[in-house]
Amino acid sequence: MRRRTFLLLGLGATGALVVGWSLVPPRQRLRAKHAADLPDGTVQLNGWLAIAPDGTVTVISPKAEMGQGIHTALAMLVAEELEVPFASVQVVHAPIDTIYGNIAALADGLPLHPDQATSALGRTLHWFTAKTAREIGVLMTGGSSSVRDVWAIAREAGATARMALIAAAAARFGVPPDQCRAERGRVIFGDRSIGYGEIIEEAAAQQPAKVALKDPAGFTIIGRDVPRLDSRAKSVGAPLFGIDLALPGMLQAAVAMPPALGSRPVKFEKNAALALPGVKAVVPLEGSTHGDPPGVAVVAATWWQAKQALAALKIEWSPSPHAALDSAAIQRTLREVAETNDGLPFRKVGNPVEVLQTAAKVIEARYEAPYLAHATMEPMNATVRTEGDSAELWCGSQVPRFARDAVARVLDLDPHQVTLHQSLLGGGFGRRLEVDYVAQAAAVAKALPGTPVQVIWSREDDLRFDMYRPAAASRLEGGLDAKGRIVALTAHSASQSAFRALSKRVGIGITSFGPDRTTAEGIWDQPYEIPALRSAHADVELPVPVGSWRSVGHSHQAFFFESFIDELAHAAQQDPLAFRLSHLREHPRAARVLSLAAERAGWGTALAAGPDGRPRARGVALHWSFGSLVAQVAEVSLDARQGIRVHRVTCAVDCGLAVHPRGIRQQVEGAVLDGLSAALHGEIRIADGRVTTSDFDTYPLLRITEAPVVDVHIVPSTEVPTGMGETALPPVAPAVANALFVLTGQRLRALPLRVAAR
């Protein structure tokens, strides 16, 4: 906190310049400088929507659709205020423009505890950061920020267009606008009405002076279970994703990348590959600062021909400078740093070290987690065509501007000379915040000007050259008083910094500004009332590439913290639910979520053995992340053949106002299954400087036979919507681990979870 204050005061040293800038109103987000790619005849009324003569509404989305349902949610917000039937709405991708910059992700990413965020200082910092974010204009889909980011502006865009249409219709009718109303895509005056499509030209010239948003009590679309806009196209296999692209004359490329970290090709047999059927070119690759490693690409008529030809290259690779690196050595390093380095404190309340010395009971524990891969269903791919002083890029990206700029850097072009065609993403989870695969495609296409070249990674490539969720280690110490209440807690963790690594690769430029909150999030920002607390983190430099993984630091820190809370409850000889609730007396929203999950799961009632006769147990976990509160109760048994078996996960969610309840339930279900994959199976292994995990046989995802019933309960709320894409993942692992402790008496402190034979 002291370092952050110092940095902010340093900014204030610019004096009148900063004061003057602060007095300027925040940059508007309604009118775009660049027009979207729209059907002929469609008229764009503002940067977020357009209307066709037949009344079809096109919503312009700056958010990447990767299965989380944001296109549907954004369309719902616009359609609600525009007063149109939801069935008349479609969505296209937005152009790169500063009005679409993600404000919520940056503003909500301040290293402030949720209790501090509502203070005067917290509100000031949030306003200042949000205003700065408007100036930067970074298009980004991530941090479970999409609905929160567009909540106000999408509704404003719809309402502004509605008022413009009413004004245009009123002029046609020759009456004041306040005598007209909008309803189901038409403007009505008495017994006369006119469709939106008939007055779009006049409406485009209107500039409403006042815009009133609808009262939530009158919502007819927001809060309803409408069908997702992309469901039908996906179910019939429409070509929606980057990997589906088929352009005239397009060639495809496969890439040989180093077998070990830090290796590079020394020599290879180019002519042997060129002699094979379909092969058009062999392209040596130097790699770039974007994270794509040195290698060799083969370009052919088909991807399979290119892939088969890689073996003919017989590449000789240089020795790895990290040949001694392996998973065990990495974990030893992390454990040592967590044990000996107090790190940078993210939150300090009172003097926990002093309080621990006088506590009635002190508990210590050590936790750790491995590297994880993203394993998106659609492997990394991008298509690039160069033509003189311009280029085109086709890909799915969570950071479209950075993807475009990466192509420009590789081809030595101005970014505005590169045209991006954004596709849907076959999974993202943070992997497509990276631009390594895009830079690599540009380097390959550079060797074949005028020809579109599509680079596709194999599944093995995708797992061995990921930007992994960092491995981590943590030591925790907690003290209880004579009544069994927590009086002090310290948490010291160690890992690589995912954000710092990512920012260097994509070219954000803010690589050393303050601490990386994502390393330690999930402990210092939780709602429990602990009078003395210190939560700190030490960054560790390792040669393994790391990046953002679904829920980032929360994904493992929640396991560390919520498992340790359970340890403290056991030491206090208290029920885990009652123990948690006793530390949430001043946080009613958190207590309500926790109580709801427990009630719906039947907490406190006897749990009968399953049909197989095996005993079952329940475990509970609560977690706050991305502005939302999630509590889960996992029902678990042990199977001699299948091992750990999770039968049911009961989940309660408070994510503010539920824009699309069905979408929320889907996100919870997906996050639970993703979290279980990581908790039960996920582990990237390294030996002799090589990533040895290379396919789903060594990196298994949850099978359908392992999938539990996921029971979702949404807490009704009128608060501003908060994050949902990632928030249900962090509590899964601790809830399962806590149930296993009840079942076996073994406290599992490492992921993936492994029960020792008894």
List pLDDT tens digits, range 507-551. 875 544 568 999 999 999 999 999 999 999 999 999 999 999 999
Give the pLDDT band of residue 758 (cuts 50, 70, 90): low
Answer yes or no: is pLDDT of 679 > 60.
yes
380-422 confidence digits (pLDDT tens): 999 999 999 999 999 999 999 999 999 999 999 999 999 999 9
Residues 159 and 222 placed together within one structural domain of the fold: yes
Answer yes or no: is pLDDT of 61 > 90.
yes
Distances from the Cα of 134 to the Cα of 403, 522, 594, 722, angstroms:
20, 27, 36, 19
Q: Which residues pair with 453 in a beta bridge?
A: 251, 384
362-374 confidence digits (pLDDT tens): 999 999 999 999 9
Among 448, 451, 536, 441, which Cα is nearest to 495's? 536
Asked whether residue 480 is assigned to any structural domain, the reply reads no
507 phi and psi, to 5 degrees? Answer: 90, 30
Residues 280 and 158 placed together within one structural domain of the fold: no
| CA distance linking residue 406 with residue 456, whole number of Å | 17
Asked whether residue 128 is assigned to any structural domain, the reply reads no
Residue that is written with structure tokens 């006897």 in the block: 606
pLDDT for 23: 60
- Prediction pTM value: 0.95
| CA distance linking residue 752 with residue 362, whole number of Å | 27
Residues 214 and 266 placed together within one structural domain of the fold: no
pLDDT for 509: 59
Asked whether residue 188 is assigned to any structural domain, the reply reads yes
Please compute the mean of the pLDDT values over residues 435-457 and round it to a whole number. 98
Residues 523 and 621 placed together within one structural domain of the fold: yes
pLDDT for 141: 97
Cβ–Cβ < 8 Å for 332, 275: no
End-to-end CA distance of the chain: 47
CATH code for the domain in which residue 669 is found: 3.30.365.10
pLDDT for 743: 95
Residues 225 and 251 placed together within one structural domain of the fold: no
Q: What is the largest CA-CA distance in the chain?
A: 85
Q: Is the dihedral of CA 98, 104, 105, 109 positive or negative?
A: positive
Please compute the mean of the pLDDT values over residues 31-60 and round it to a whole number. 95
Using H for helix, E for strand and C for coil, what is the string for 29-42?
CCCCCCCCCCCCCC
Answer yes or no: is pLDDT of 477 > 70.
yes
Decide which of 206, 235, 264 is a domain's last residue.
235
Residue that is written with structure tokens 């408007």 in the block: 134
List the beta strands (DSSP E) in 527-596: 533-539
Cβ–Cβ < 8 Å for 677, 698: no
408 phi and psi, to 5 degrees? Answer: -60, -40
Asked whether residue 326 is assigned to any structural domain, the reply reads no
Asked whether residue 758 is assigned to any structural domain, the reply reads no
Residues 190 and 287 placed together within one structural domain of the fold: no
| CA distance linking residue 563 with residue 437, whole number of Å | 37
Burial class (CB in 10 A: 0-12, 13-18, 19+), 55: middle
The percent of residues above 70 in pLDDT, for the chain, comes to 96
Q: Which two tokens stand for residue 2?
A: 């002291």
> In the chain, helix, strand, coil percent, each to 5?
35, 20, 40
pLDDT for 26: 80
Cβ–Cβ < 8 Å for 241, 396: yes
Distances from the Cα of 723 to the Cα of 419, 547, 598, 653, angstroms:
31, 20, 22, 11
Please compute the mean of the pLDDT values over residues 10-20 and round it to a whole number. 46
Q: Each residue of 253-269: b (16+ CB within 10 Å) or e? A: bbbbbbebbbbbbeebe
67-84 confidence digits (pLDDT tens): 999 999 999 999 999 999
The more confident residue out of 624 and 640 is 624
Transcribe 302-323 into DSSP letters: SHHHHHHHGGGG-PEEPPPTTT
How many C-beta atoms surround the C-beta of residue 484 within 10 A? Answer: 16
Asked whether residue 442 is assigned to any structural domain, the reply reads yes
Answer yes or no: is pLDDT of 4 > 90.
no
| CA distance linking residue 123 with residue 115, whole number of Å | 11
Cβ–Cβ < 8 Å for 365, 561: no
Residues 385 and 532 placed together within one structural domain of the fold: no
Among 605, 491, 505, which Cα is nearest to 548's? 505
644 phi and psi, to 5 degrees? Answer: -70, 130
Transcribe 257-309 into DSSP letters: --SSTT--EEE--HHHHHTSTTEEEEEEE---TTSPPSEEEEEESSHHHHHHH
Which of 94-103, 112-121, 339-348, 656-665 shows the lowest mean pLDDT across its residues?
Answer: 112-121
- The enclosing H or E element of 189 equals strand 186-189
- Give the contacts of 16 (CB within 8 A, at least 6 positions apart): none
Answer yes or no: is pLDDT of 9 > 50.
no
How many C-beta atoms surround the C-beta of residue 232 within 10 A? Answer: 10
Answer yes or no: is pLDDT of 11 > 70.
no
Decide which of 235, 250, 284 is a domain's last residue.
235
- Give the contacts of 745 (CB within 8 A, at least 6 positions apart): none
Q: Which two tokens stand for residue 273?
A: 């590959």
Three-state DSSP at 271 gives: helix
| CA distance linking residue 400 with residue 140, whole number of Å | 7
Distances from the Cα of 196 to the Cα of 30, 52, 156, 396, 639, angstroms:
20, 8, 18, 33, 61
How many C-beta atoms surround the C-beta of residue 285 within 10 A? Answer: 21
Residues 535 and 673 placed together within one structural domain of the fold: yes
pLDDT for 10: 43
Give the pLDDT band of residue 110 (cuts 50, 70, 90): confident
pLDDT for 481: 98
Cβ–Cβ < 8 Å for 345, 533: no
Beta pairing, strands 43-46 & 49-51: antiparallel
Q: Domain range holding 556? A: 508-744
Asked whether residue 68 is assigned to any structural domain, the reply reads yes
Cβ–Cβ < 8 Å for 154, 659: no
Please compute the mean of the pLDDT values over residues 438-463 and round it to a whole number. 98
pLDDT for 640: 75
Please compute the mean of the pLDDT values over residues 562-583 and round it to a whole number. 98
Decide which of 235, 253, 272 is a domain's last residue.
235
Residues 697 and 585 placed together within one structural domain of the fold: yes
Task: Give me the count of residues in the chain.
Answer: 758
For the chain, how many structural domains are there in total?
Answer: 3
Answer yes or no: is pLDDT of 145 > 70.
yes
The number of C-alpha atoms within 13 Å of 136 and in the hemisphere containing its C-beta is 19
pLDDT for 607: 86
pLDDT for 117: 85
Residues 563 and 684 placed together within one structural domain of the fold: yes
- The enclosing H or E element of 691 equals strand 690-691
pLDDT for 2: 42
Amino acid letter, 64: A
The number of C-alpha atoms within 13 Å of 700 and in the hemisphere containing its C-beta is 10
The more confident residue out of 515 and 139 is 139
Asked whether residue 611 is assigned to any structural domain, the reply reads yes
Residues 229 and 274 placed together within one structural domain of the fold: no
Answer yes or no: is pLDDT of 645 > 70.
yes
Among 508, 396, 393, which Cα is nearest to 64's? 396
Residue that is written with structure tokens 């719809």 in the block: 158
Which of 130-134, 196-200, 302-306, 598-602 shows the lowest mean pLDDT across its residues?
Answer: 130-134
Among 429, 418, 417, which Cα is nearest to 395's? 418
Please compute the mean of the pLDDT values over residues 227-252 and round it to a whole number. 96
Residues 228 and 264 placed together within one structural domain of the fold: no
Three-state DSSP at 118 gives: coil
Residue that is written with structure tokens 């803010």 in the block: 510
